[in-house]
Amino acid sequence: MANALGETFSRAWKSDFMWSFRRTPVAIISFIVALTLILGAVLAPMIAPHNPFDPATLNLMNGFSVPMEPNQFTGETFWLGTDDQGRDVFSTILFGMRVSLFVGFAAVAFAMTLGVTLGLIAGYVGGWIGALIMRIADVQLTFPGILVAMLIFGIAKGFTPIDQRDEMAIWVLIIAIGLSEWVQFARVVRGATMVEKNKEYVQAARLNGRSSAGIMLRHILPNVLGPVLVIATISLALAIIAEATLSFLGVGAPPTQPSLGTLIRIGQGFLFSGEWWIILFPSITLLALALSVNLLGDWLRDVLNPRLR
Amino acid sequence: MLAFAIRRAFQSFIVLLVVGLVAFSMFNFVGDPIDNMLGQERTGADIERLRVQLGLDQPFPVQYYRFLEGAVQGNFGISYRQGRPVSEVISERLPATLELAFVSAVLAVIFGVALGVFTAIRRNGWAANTIMTLSLIGVSLPTFLIGILLIYLFAVELGWLPSFGRGDVVDLGWWRTGLLTQSGLKALILPAITLGLYQMTLIMRLVRSEMLEVLRQDYIRFARARGLRDKSVYFRHALKNTLVPVITVTGMQLGAIIAFAIITETVFQWPGVGLLFINAIRFVDIPVMAAYLMLISVMFVSINLIVDLLYFAIDPRLRLDRRGGEK
Amino acid sequence: MNKQAGREPVLSVANLSVEIPTRQGTLTPVDKLSFDIEQGRILGVVGESGAGKSMTGNAVIGLLDPPAHIAGGEIRLKGRRIDNLAREALRKVRGKEIGMVFQDPLTSLNPLLPIGEQLTETILEHLPVGKTEAQNRAVAALEEVGIPAAAQRINSYPHEFSGGMRQRVVIALALCAEPSLVIADEPTTALDVSVQAQIIALLKRLCRERGTAIMLITHDMGVIAETADEVAVMYAGRLAEIGPVRDVLTAPIHPYTQGLMASTPLAAKGKKRLSQIPGAMPRLTDLPDGCAFNPRCPIAKDKCRRPPAPNLDSGGGNAACWYASGARS
């Protein structure tokens, strides 16, 4: 068992995919950065020195601590300083990343499920349903994703009862960003499906009396996984930026669950008063996150599907 | 060509009808318009009267038609938050956004095309490589961070430029411009760069890849084999052939600039329609949201239409046979 | 080759090598090539695709795509060395001294510029004439290549012409600055069979009239037989055989040329079936030691499998083969 596992691993290591990975320093560094950040977010409750949302651990006296210097009142030292409430910036970043990454992954998962399903239907079934799906995609593509996300956010907010708006905000964000990004998935899957559909093995499966859904899942879906993975990675970077942007604009994550964008929004208020760390560190984290995922996506695209735009 | 233009205009019209339907549905189904308009104290008679007055008793298509009728005349009702007609609120803020978008677009196109050509010609030079690396970071950098960075550098640290607002403005009839005063121009610099940078990067990367593609073509080899000067090969022969895709994307980017202005306007507290829209979302001010959606759709659709027609000016093959150029 | 005493060749290539550095090592797509072309003469360059024909043409006109570069030898045009010219000086040679005709007329003309503009820009670049004169010459050039109603069609775009007509325009462009050498790289391959003969005849006539030398690159033995005065056969970047066209076609001495002739309908007239050379031309990445043709050669011996590779001198001046049969004098 262990042997078989080791063999699988060594085969994977020697595959073209891993060969390219080991040969691309940018991919390795991006992967390490992204992985570190994701782990930091997942393990935040364990590794964060403070829980920024537990008022009991906050001491207003610790407010505006300078990074790496003992606080003038309490003598406590904070690596990345504290904000006006005395919240440890390092901890708020870890918890902020949780929100950012959760929204990002969930939005991409939603967009992927929706896009792949609609793309399979549009490509395999075709007809007026397929045409309708693709027309909607075309119209939506006319508008920038961030605008679509804002609009959906606004509408969804209108449907949410006023007293639940803060609690629902995260889910509304996920839906808004997810709905703004399904089109790329649908287009690629549809294109690939139309090609695969006419290949002999699919025709054979059809003659064998397999159901359409079965054929799509068993035969067509595996063939489009490569491009879908590429788009998912690039979409993740886009979703993280979209979430940060919306939260920065004040139409995203609520103050009770601040994401990186919310933290930057808060930090902007201290730009002129000299507390640079409150905005700098969340910004760098966001940048590192977006850039590393983006570069990984670029590399994946080159390896898996050089023809994909 | 005329048939093509008419068909495109018709398609644009359909898109606008669909967007109108979305906007109309927002009006009618997001929250209850009656709730929104009448306060807590209301009677059954009030509601009934308002229903008739708003035409809510009419069948759906009739309501939709009335909505469109109003929209065409610029009538989008009253802003829930400001209590003023939406058309008034938007039209006094539109010039600010259009000026910002225009200046950004001009910057993006000029620098995008110039840098794109440069990086394509000097493909392996250090300057071109540096620009390409920077552009990759530029694409990953969210617009609002660029804005904050610029504010920090030029407003906080150096104190050269204002960090918010539009500076002094001059009234030209109903158009209030910031382009005619020194403080207005100074206030425009940072937002315009912030807004234009991303689009510039995209245009640059596109021009570069199209240029590289075109430079591989036989007619470029032939132009070189005829001993033409580099300047003529690059600008007369190559650049012109990259223009069709570049114009498509640039056109879409111009639309995007108006949308991305929302972010820039928020960062710089620029008093345009984008800032208005963000506040409308925050306070669920549906009429403003719907009007903004219609406004921006009209702009997008017009830009796309103009882009389509520009193809004919550039590519003679299209004038003869439309399909020839669509490959 | 048969040099007439006292006449300097228009193009003289000596020991030309082109190299491409790659990760697998340096490739040599053109290896120590030598040939001359005299005024008004046509040299046919034949070989399979990948034999280095086009690369040779590009090297002569200075249009090698980096990282390919001239690694050795000399190229002289009317006695003047042109392989080591600076960029700008070389540009002035192109079009003015050497014209080039590419394979595909559909892609060699800029689709967005009227043909008249493409002609006048070339004329203005190389000849000391004004705009009006350049226009007149453009019309004249089009008339010369047989474009009907040239004065009216000068503002037409390339897509408004048929393939054959476009190749005529390309020829007009190559000749409009009156070069002394034209390199025609597969000028008829992309054309309909019915048009091919017309284009070849046109090229031949124009060059005879002006005394222009032609380097005609093709894989079509028929075209060579009809057009060329001399023929150079290339194999794997090296010259296999060179000589007057009649000699090479009727009495080839290199085993490769012999195989080539036996497989060409033209020369194999009367025989029941065409023969073929077994195997394929080796890739540049794995050339055999010694003669590049040895794995396919019916008469290969040990000497052929060892370095050095034979050159023209090995086969009596006309064929790069140690065992060339019946060397011509």
Q: For chain B, which chains pass the contact test of at least 3 CB pairs under 8 Å?
A: A, C
pLDDT of residue A8: 65
Which of A248, A275, A281 to substitute to test the interface with B, most B CBs within 10 Å?
Answer: A248
Could you tell me if B241 and B149 are in contact, meaning their C-beta atoms sit under 8 angstroms apart?
no
pLDDT of residue A164: 74
pLDDT digit string, tens, across residues B155-206: 888 878 887 777 777 777 777 777 777 777 888 888 998 888 888 888 888 8
**ipTM tops 0.95:** no
Distance of CA C276 to the CA centre of its chain: 24
* Residue in the block written with tokens 């234009």: B196
Q: Is residue A47 part of a domain?
A: no
pLDDT of residue B31: 59
pLDDT digit string, tens, across residues A249-276: 888 888 788 888 888 888 888 877 777 7
Residue C221: which H helix or E strand, with range? helix C221-227
pLDDT digit string, tens, across residues A41-55: 888 787 877 777 766
Q: Is residue A57 part of a domain?
A: no
Mean pLDDT (whole number) for A82-108: 85
Distances (CA, A) of A95 to A40, A291, A292: 9, 20, 19
Q: Is residue A56 part of a domain?
A: no
Position A30 pLDDT exceeds 60: yes
pLDDT of residue A308: 43
The C-alpha atoms of residue C118 and residue B53 are separated, in whole angstroms, by: 69
Which range is least confidently modeled, A57-66, A278-287, B123-132, C21-30?
Answer: A57-66
Q: Please, which residues bridge with residue B241 across strands? A: none
pLDDT digit string, tens, across residues C123-139: 888 888 888 888 888 88
Q: Is residue A9 part of a domain?
A: no
Question: Cβ contact (<8 Å) for C94 and B221?
Answer: no
Q: Is residue A6 part of a domain?
A: no
Nearest to A139 among B15, B255, B281 (CB): B15
Domain that residue A202 falls in: 24-39+87-308
Q: Is C286 exposed, middle or buried (0-12, 13-18, 19+ CB in 10 A)?
A: exposed
Q: Is residue A3 part of a domain?
A: no
* 3-class DSSP string for chain A: CHHHHHHHHHHHHHCHHHHHHHHCHHHHHHHHHHHHHHHHHHCHHHHCCCCCCCHHHCCHHHCCCCCCCECCCCCCECCCCECCCCCEHHHHHHHHHHHHHHHHHHHHHHHHHHHHHHHHHHHHHCHHHHHHHHHHHHHHHCCCHHHHHHHHHHHHHHHCCHHHHHHHHHHHHHHHHHHHHHHHHHHHHHHHHHHHHCCHHHHHHHHCCCCHHHHHHHHHHHHHHHHHHHHHHHHHHHHHHHHHHHHHHCCCCCCCCCCHHHHHHHHHCCCCCCCCHHHHHHHHHHHHHHHHHHHHHHHHHHHHCCCCC
The C-alpha atoms of residue C257 and residue C264 are separated, in whole angstroms, by: 10
A294 contacts chain B (CB < 8 A): yes
Could you tell me which of A265, A225, A230, A228 has the C-alpha nearest to residue A245? Answer: A265
Which of B123, B215, B222, B233 to substitute to test the interface with C, most C CBs within 10 Å?
Answer: B222
pLDDT of residue B299: 84
pLDDT of residue A114: 94
Q: How confident is the model at residue A115 (pLDDT cuts 50, 70, 90)?
A: very high
pLDDT digit string, tens, across residues A141-186: 777 888 888 888 887 777 777 777 777 788 888 988 998 889 989 9
CA count, 13 A, side-chain hemisphere, C86: 2
Mean pLDDT (whole number) for C82-86: 85
Question: Cβ contact (<8 Å) for A146 and B142?
Answer: no
How many domains, in total, are found in chain A?
A: 1
Could you tell me if C247 and C322 are in contact, meaning their C-beta atoms sit under 8 angstroms apart?
no
Mean pLDDT is highest, among A28-32, A214-218, B245-249, C287-291, for A28-32
pLDDT of residue C38: 87
- Please tell me whether residue C159 adopts helix, strand or coil conformation: helix
The C-alpha atoms of residue B77 and residue B84 are separated, in whole angstroms, by: 8
B81 CB-near residues (< 8 Å, 6+ apart): B279, B280, B283, B285, B288
One-letter amino acid of B322: R
pLDDT of residue B104: 92
* Residue in the block written with tokens 């050159």: C311
Nearest CA in chain B to C173: B226
Mean pLDDT across chain A: 80
pLDDT digit string, tens, across residues A152-161: 888 777 777 7
Give percent above pLDDT 70 in chain A. 84
Position C166 pLDDT exceeds 60: yes
Nearest to B31 among A151, A158, A268 (CB): A158
The C-alpha atoms of residue B24 and residue B228 are separated, in whole angstroms, by: 59
Q: Is residue A187 part of a domain?
A: yes
pLDDT of residue C322: 77
Q: For chain A, which chains pass the contact test of at least 3 CB pairs under 8 Å?
A: B
CA dihedral A251, A256, A262, A263 (to 10 degrees): 170
pTM, 2 dp: 0.76
The C-alpha atoms of residue C319 and residue C310 are separated, in whole angstroms, by: 9
pLDDT of residue B111: 92
The C-alpha atoms of residue C107 and residue C129 are separated, in whole angstroms, by: 29
Nearest CA in chain A to B19: A139
pLDDT of residue A13: 58
Widest pairwise Cα distance in chain C: 67
pLDDT of residue B59: 73
Q: Looking at beta carbons, which residues of chain B come within 8 Å of C125?
A: 226-229, 232
Question: Cβ contact (<8 Å) for B148 and A159?
Answer: no
Domains of chain B: 2-72 (no CATH), 91-323 (1.10.3720.10)
Which of B12, B16, B79, B144 to substitute to test the interface with A, most A CBs within 10 Å?
Answer: B144
Q: Is residue A114 part of a domain?
A: yes
Distances (CA, A) of B309 to B2, B6, B7, B196: 10, 11, 12, 24
pLDDT digit string, tens, across residues A211-250: 777 777 777 777 778 888 888 988 998 899 889 998 888 8
Question: Cβ contact (<8 Å) for A283 and B145?
Answer: yes
Could you tell me which of C178, C234, C191 has the C-alpha nearest to residue C43? Answer: C234
The C-alpha atoms of residue A102 and residue B41 are separated, in whole angstroms, by: 43
Position A93 pLDDT exceeds 50: yes
- Please tell me whether residue C103 adopts helix, strand or coil conformation: coil
Which CATH number belongs to the domain containing residue A304 in this structure? 1.10.3720.10
What averages of pLDDT result for each successive group of 10 residues across chain B (327 residues)? Answer: 76 81 74 58 69 68 78 75 80 87 90 89 82 78 86 84 77 75 82 89 87 85 86 86 80 80 89 88 81 85 81 70 38
